[in-house]
Amino acid sequence: MMETLKLNWKEDKLILSIDYPEPFKQNESYQTIIICHGLIGSRMGVDRLFVKTSHELTKQGFLVVRFDYKGCGESSGEYGTNSLDDLMEQTSKVIEFTLQNLPVKELTLLGHSLGGAVALLTAIEDSRVTRLIQWAAVGKPEEDISKIFGARRMKELRESNRVDFYGYHFYPRYFHSLAEYEPIQVCSKFKGDVFLAHGTNDQDIPYTYINKYRENYHKRVQGSVQDLLIENAEHTFSQSEHFQQLITGTINWLKQKIYHYK
């Protein structure tokens, strides 16, 4: 069962989908996962990554919330006018809605690519987030996203204060905000358990980030970290065998952590 809602954020409407486990019982609380998509993504995910993910999670009894950031998917607004702080605020807005309106037992954030960085930075500030899942997570936002845009587009942005990226207009504010954060360096501030996954054939975000993230998470006194490196998987884990490894590893980790804390 799926429900689609509109959520007010400043002058815009964020569209979110709630995927309920089957069977869903109103008098029970559920392990709940909020999915944070990446750059110009959507709650569907490239090649339906998040739809497939939600389907597998709800089969296992999880309640899943997927949403479109401002200017993405079906949400209103212009994505390129966001700052990284705006993306974190929108994530916090969805967290607040979820905790106030849904039967949440514990809350996990799952972020992919830039969403992996946003999820981490949001979780650091919100102790109600118990666990964190980062798939192919951005580690150095300004550097990583600038490389994805390419030198020609970045030159155009400097010269005209606006650049087109696959039909989305971006402005200097977006990149200035990315430069304010380096998630790899601050990840040790998150006190919960973490699951990392990356593919060795990722052409967008270096898979070696998984090692840097793991090393810094290990510096913590509190919270565990587990990682999964998937051979030949690309950034969006679109191949069936790679997605199966990804979702199986993720679900096994979730079950292990939930069982451990019961």
What percentage of the chain's residues is helix, strand, coil (to nearest 5)?
40, 25, 35
Q: How far apart are CA 35 and CA 48, in angstroms?
A: 13
Both structure tokens of 62: 């999880």
pLDDT tens-place values along the chain, 262 residues long:
899 999 999 999 999 999 999 889 888 999 999 999 999 999 999 999 999 999 999 999 999 999 999 999 999 999 999 999 999 999 999 999 999 999 999 999 999 999 999 999 999 999 999 999 999 999 999 999 999 999 999 999 999 999 999 999 999 999 999 999 999 999 999 999 999 999 999 999 999 999 999 999 999 989 999 999 999 999 999 999 999 999 999 999 999 988 754 4
Q: How far apart are CA 53 and CA 143, in angstroms?
A: 28
Per-residue burial over 136-160, b if 16 or more Cβ lie within 10 Å, else e, is bbbbbbbebbbebbeeeebebbeee
Q: What domains are defined for the chain?
A: 2-140+183-261 (3.40.50.1820)
Q: How far apart are CA 166 and CA 152, in angstroms?
A: 14
This model's pTM is above 0.75: yes
